[in-house]
Amino acid sequence: MTKRFGSLVALDDVSLTLEPGSFHALLGENGAGKSTLVKCVMGYYASDKGAVIVDDVERIIRSPRDAHAHRIGMVYQHFTLVPSMSVAENFALARADLSLVVDWPTEHRRLHEFLKDMPFKVDLEAPVSALAAGQKQKIEILKQLYLASRILILDEPTSVLTPGEADEILGLLHEMARGGRLSVLMITHKLREVVAFADEVTVLRRGRVVGRGRMEKLTAQNLAAMMIGGSELPPPAQRIAHTTGQVRLRLDHLCVDDDKGHQAVVNVSLSVHAGEIVGIAGVSGNGQAEMVEVLAGQREASAGTITVHGEPYRATRMEMRRHKVFCLPEEPLRNACVSRMSVAENLAFRVFDETRFTIARWGLNRAAMRQAASELIGRYHIKASSTDAPVSSLSGGNVQRLVLARELSGDVEVLIAANPCFGLDIAAIAEIRSQMMRARNRGAAILLVSEDLDELFELADRMVVMFNGELVYETPIADADLAIVGRHMAGH
Ligand SMILES: Nc1ncnc2c1ncn2[C@@H]1O[C@H](COP(=O)(O)OP(=O)(O)O)[C@@H](O)[C@H]1O
Ligand SMILES: [Mg+2]
């Protein structure tokens, strides 16, 4: 399979064989070409060269519908279920042969029959919106099995799951493959999952196969070396011991309502000093998102105040520039970019109205913007086909590198980061964490909200636990104890 996007060769003569009844991992860094490969197989993309061969016969696959006809199904990284419908309705909806008028009693009987010999149980009547991420992912998989897929492709299926949920689901898929019911091709960048569940692995790097083999002959170290192609991971930045400076960011009795008008943040008071990373730990949904939205200027507080450098702060664009406040949000494509605009334009959001980027006051100096973008692309190792490519064509890790380049390349006094490494690969994570540590060492005040306790233990100087909208526990990182922090996160 070969696939080009303009001048970028996303897949360069890639071959892969999926044995019947095997669990095959497709491994590689962000931007390696993993999603492109399976999208070519599923008929989302037309490859420039190459063939899909099923049971020794070359098949023409022009759309996912064609792929389904050959019993190839795919589970996406993001959920595709209709939240307002029940589980049963979602199953029925997925069938291509569904008649206009659904005979629900028959449909239900069929579903119950089908579920009888499935390894996991689901509540057919539950509305999808009420289900946890793990449940939804199981239903996505069951849906494919209901459509009688025997080749199941999964694109980073565990990125939305907790480690416990991931193990459960991958274990079940492994069993089904072993039982000969399925052949599984799973995209991942998590070495742990490959080592624990895969029979075979193919490693991609920059669109090429750089390694493959049976897992019993490979170790996690072998795989990591193949993924990053011998290049070293950036060493983690050292935390420089220094006394912290004055208060840069201060929240005083801050209260924030969520979309439904319920109080999501309750009387939160907190200070972040220059040269300090304050980590906010907590299970998602305890008010962190609403708090970050207020700090980023995307939501109004209902009470309380925020000050930066002792001045009242409402997160307007002017204030952010004056006080050098920057943000690294999760899902950067949605929260920090305009996806249909180019890489160069997205990199210039903070500065496009500065004189160096304008011509005769009103026009944008595109050449200067492109040149500045090229420089940042090189410095932050952003993989993009050109400065004019739409930012939506970048992989997740590269979108976050772009946001990082935009937010951290200048002088940073306050940084608000919310799950900045969520869903990214090892190299991107290492780079982003090291850049945050360096910003702290240079004297930035950083508020790091994260669901990843490892990340907080690595980066924070001080850890605060948020539960039910309140800050319930605080400790210097040197004295932080995982068990105690975990108890407070659970509200005990
Ligand atoms: N629709 C597209 N247009 C242009 N470039 C794309 C498109 N989709 C992917 N790419 C580029 O192809 C390369 C491989 O991307 P992808 O297959 O998504 O990587 P992976 O899934 O391994 O992270 C990346 O450099 C990405 O920017
Ligand atoms: Mg991908």
Query: How many beta carbons lie within 10 A of that of residue 130, not counting itself?
Result: 11
The predicted-structure confidence for 106-128, as pLDDT tens digits, reads as follows: 888 988 988 887 777 788 888 98
Could you tell me the distance, in angstroms and rounded to a whole number, from the CA of residue 34 to the centre of ligand 2? 6
**Span 311-330, pLDDT tens digits:** 999 999 899 989 999 988 77
Average pLDDT (471-488) is 91
* Ligand 1 atom closest to 39 (CA): 17
pLDDT digits (tens, 9 = 90+) for 154-206: 998 887 676 677 888 899 899 999 999 899 999 987 788 899 999 999 999 98
The CB of 423 under 6 Å from ligand 1? The reply is: no
The residue-averaged pLDDT of 124-142 equals 84
- Which amino acid would we find at residue 358? T
Q: Residue ranges per domain, the chain?
A: 3-228, 247-324+411-489
- Mean pLDDT, residues 61-86: 88
Question: What is the pLDDT, as a whole number, of residue 248?
Answer: 97
Among 169, 166, 115, 170, residue whose Cα is nearest residue 143: 115
- Whether the pLDDT of residue 231 is over 80: the answer is no
Mean pLDDT rounded to a whole number for the chain: 88
Distance 121 CA to ligand 1 centre (A): 36
How many whole angstroms separate alpha carbon 490 and alpha carbon 73? 38
pLDDT recorded at residue 331 = 74
The sign of the dihedral angle between the CA atoms of 383, 385, 390, 392 is negative
pLDDT interval class at 255 (50, 70, 90): very high
Ligand 1 pocket, residue 393 CB under 6 Å: yes
Evaluate: CB of 343 within 6 angstroms of ligand 1. Answer: no
Is 119 in contact with 141 (CB distance < 8 Å)?
no
**Best of 42, 395, 399 for a ligand 1 pocket test (most atoms within 8 Å of beta carbon):** 395
Where is pLDDT greater, at 397 or 340? Answer: 340
Q: How far, in Å, CA of 24 to CA of 214, rounded?
A: 9
* Alpha carbon of 206 to ligand 2 centroid (Å): 12
Binding site membership of 76 for ligand 1 (Cβ less than 6 Å): no
pLDDT exceeds cutoff 70 at 246? yes
- Hunting for tokens 């979108």 — which residue is that? 399
Residue nearest to atom 10 of ligand 1 (CA): 393
Between helix 87-94 and helix 133-146 the angle, nearest 10°, is: 40
Q: Which ligand is nearest to the CA of 156?
A: 2
Distance CA 245, CA 242 (A): 9
Residue 152's pLDDT band, with cuts at 50, 70 and 90, is very high
Mean pLDDT for the stretch of residues 228-245: 79
257 burial class (0-12, 13-18, 19+ CB within 10 angstroms)? middle
* Gyration radius of the chain over CA positions: 24
pLDDT value of position 22? 96
Q: How much is the pLDDT for 362? A: 66
Q: Is the distance from CB of 401 to CB of 381 less than 8 angstroms?
A: yes
Which CATH code for domain 247-324+411-489? 3.40.50.300
Q: Tell me the best of 1, 2, 4, 8 to mutate to test the pocket of ligand 1, counting ligand atoms within 8 Å of each CB and taking the most.
A: 8
Shortest-distance Cα residue to atom 6 of ligand 1 = 393
Q: What is the pLDDT of residue 117?
A: 75
**pLDDT over 90 (residue 274):** yes
- Relative to the CA of 384, which ligand 1 atom is closest? 27
Pairing of strands 200-205, 23-28: parallel
pLDDT digits 0-9 by tens, 333-371? 777 888 889 999 989 887 777 777 777 666 778 888 899
Compute the distance from residue 225 Cα to the ligand 1 centre, in Å.
Answer: 22
The band of 388, judged by pLDDT with boundaries at 50, 70 and 90, is very high
Whose tokens are 């029979």? That residue is 199
Using a 6 Å cutoff on CB, does residue 3 contact ligand 1?
no
Please give the Cα distance from 165 to 134 (Å, whole number): 6
Dihedral, 97, 101, 103, 104 alpha carbons, nearest 10: 100
Q: What is the mean pLDDT of residues 127-153?
A: 86
pLDDT of 52 above 80: yes
**pLDDT-derived band at 397, boundaries 50, 70, 90:** confident
Q: Is the CB of 5 under 6 A from ligand 1?
A: yes
**How many Å lie between the centroid of ligand 2 and the Cα of residue 458?**
27
Q: Give the pLDDT confidence score for residue 103 in this predicted structure.
A: 81
**Contact in structure between 449 and 280 (CB atoms under 8 Å):** yes
**Residue 28 Cα, ligand 1 centroid: separation in angstroms?**
12
- Is 247-324+411-489 in the same CATH topology as 3-228? yes
What's the whole-number mean pLDDT along residues 14-43?
94
Architecture of domain 3-228: 3-Layer(aba) Sandwich (3.40)
HSE-up of residue 487 (Cα within 13 Å, Cβ side):
7
Whole-number pLDDT of residue 354: 74
pLDDT at 427 > cutoff 80: no
To test the ligand 1 pocket, which listed residue (48, 205, 340, 385) has its Cβ within 8 A of the most ligand atoms?
A: 385
What mean pLDDT comes out for the span 36-60? 96
Q: DSSP string of 177-204?
A: HHTTS-EEEEEE--HHHHHHH-SEEEEE
**Nearest atom of ligand 1 to the alpha carbon of 11:** 14
pLDDT at 98: 64
pLDDT at 408: 83
Q: Whose CA is nearest to atom 3 of ligand 1?
A: 393
Burial of 286 (0-12, 13-18, 19+ CB in 10 A): buried
